[in-house]
Chains A and B, each alone.
Chain A
């Protein structure tokens, strides 16, 4: 933000004497992300300090996990990031499989890629639509939810639930896909692909949207790493890291043979295998616009991955393996695994002591670390920019408060 000088015509309130004031934002849904309270120290329109207060959605999910078997805890992982429940199920299932040294077959592997990437699309659609709401435009939300609805229909057909799926589980998935599902999924993708242009017209290249997001809330590369940011927030700052490519072999093995390019700006340009709009000249690497844009690129990337997964899944003749028993004994030891969820790197830690109930369960959520950077990003910004900055982090309180 440039220095304020008295002659600046933009500063209409400069001759008005202002005092320091504490402003509460929340804790009611400030912008559909969940129950978050921000305490702002302001002087006029300028925010000097921001303090997030979290915990309104705290359910002590980790303690619950110490009293249930891993498969029984799967429904609780749904409620961490409830907009990407499939990815949460997957993260936990893989962590327990890591501890048990269990490997799922090819068919389950491709099914998981297919389902996880489809959920990534729907999560980013909510992120995009809700971000529009944060900035005061209602229509992108309707467009995004129109398409998300189709994905939820597909999930409902596969597992019966529309939001909290408990579908991917330890040892595979609870059920195989119903007949005709793959064709319906392909039909959805064919219909969805041209629509992405509409989103870019509505938001990405929209002059007002660019004015509200470009150059706002710039997160430097070093700060992003220092605060443990991950996912689109980290990649929006130009850090080339995606656990689907860089993670542990247990997880990257799932994407073995899949072709995709990490959505990150390298040497001033984004990967160009699709017709994306160009980066506006006002945008600075690490600002709200870039974080948003990375998500939009990932929608296309995930669509590609779903298509690849459909072919591979269909080519596997064997039946889907039965998931592990509900009361399967866990070996003594501990395992930690991070996976690339839509919001960032979701880590699970499990300690086994030889019984079927884990001794300790830990969920490290990406939004938790992503939100902790708010006070740095909001220092010196305008009050109206606070929702723009917090919204661009695409947080979900369910996984922050756990």
Chain B
């Protein structure tokens, strides 16, 4: 979604929620403050023009360079990035929202970062958020049923984190 004035209309409806944007990228994106994501999504779905009535995908990208040599060269700090791909059925337009999260809440390893759930906005988000929780370790506050979806319920760790270590065994089954 690149239309003129679109970014301004979000800013007018949710002041302070937009913290950055990159409109020249291949898929132009808007960065939203973590605490405001559900509010912005609700507005985009029910009031914005065009209405983004459908959610395509939620992705979490773990920005962590595990190799210390390469880590010294990268320009970013380790963080998690949530990417929301929205779709408007009437306008046939796409919109990308990004949210930056710390890798661990309060920098304590094992404490999952938290973000408001958008499952109340689009029902698609219910399973997508469960998947992100399962594989990338993000906690969604206000989610109706947050538990693992693809991995077994007693699985340890979050496989899509860059520093994930595959367990050597699971209930007596050798894993590697």
Which residues from chain A sit less than 8 Å from chain B, CB to CB?
Answer: 54-55, 58, 60, 62-63, 98-99, 101, 223, 225-228, 239, 241, 246, 248, 333-336, 338, 345, 347, 349, 351, 359-360, 362, 364, 368-369, 372, 401-402
Contacts and interface: CB of A to CB of B under 8 A. Distances in A.
8 tightest A-B CB contacts, nearest first: A228-B124, A364-B57, A55-B150, A58-B150, A362-B59, A360-B61, A372-B127, A246-B92
Interface residues of B, number: 30
B26 A335 contact: yes
Given A55-B151, A58-B150, A239-B89, A225 B57 contact: no
Interface string B125-161: 0110000000100000000000011111000000110
Interface string B92-136: 101010000000000000000000000000111011000000010
B26 A369 contact: no
Given A351-B61, A372-B127, A336 B150 contact: no
24 contacts: A55-B148, A55-B151, A60-B135, A99-B26, A225-B54, A225-B89, A226-B123, A227-B124, A228-B55, A228-B56, A228-B123, A248-B94, A333-B26, A334-B27, A334-B83, A336-B83, A336-B85, A349-B85, A351-B61, A360-B59, A360-B62, A362-B57, A372-B126, A401-B150
A336 B95 CA distance: 11
A336 B122 contact: no
Given A336-B27, A336-B96, A225 B150 contact: no
A99 B26 CA distance: 8
Most chain B beta-carbon contacts within 10 A, residue among A239, A241, A351, A360: A360
A351 B53 CA distance: 25
Interface in B27-61: 27, 53-57, 59, 61
Contacts of B151: 55, 58
B72 interface: no
A334 B26 contact: yes
Given A55-B152, A63-B160, A239-B89, A347 B56 contact: yes
B173 interface: no
Given A62-B135, A335-B27, A336-B27, 15 more contacts: A54-B150, A55-B149, A55-B151, A60-B135, A60-B160, A63-B159, A226-B122, A228-B56, A334-B25, A335-B26, A336-B85, A336-B94, A349-B59, A351-B61, A360-B59
Nearest to B29: A334
A362 B124 CA distance: 16
Contacts of B61: 351, 359-360
Contacts of A241: 89, 92
A62 B26 CA distance: 22
A307 B171 CA distance: 54
Contacts, number: 84
Contacts of B122: 226, 228
A248 B26 CA distance: 12
Nearest to B96: A336
B57 A54 contact: no
B152 to A, nearest CB: 7
Interface of B: 25-27, 53-57, 59, 61-62, 83, 85, 89, 92, 94, 96, 122-124, 126-127, 135, 148-152, 159-160
B127 A369 contact: yes
Contacts of B59: 349, 360, 362
B8 to A, nearest CB: 24
A47 B122 CA distance: 25
A370 to B, nearest CB: 10
Contacts of A333: 25-26
Contacts of A368: 127
B149 A227 contact: no
Given A98-B26, A351-B61, A364 B152 contact: no
Given A225-B54, A228-B55, A362-B57, A349 B92 contact: no
A52 to B, nearest CB: 9
B151 to A, nearest CB: 6
B27 A372 contact: no
A223 B92 CA distance: 18
A61 to B, nearest CB: 11
Nearest to B25: A333
Nearest to B122: A226
Contacts of A225: 53-54, 89
A227 B122 CA distance: 7
B85 A347 contact: yes
A54 B147 CA distance: 12
A333 B57 CA distance: 18
Given A54-B150, A58-B150, A347 B25 contact: no
A386 B91 CA distance: 35
A283 B131 CA distance: 35
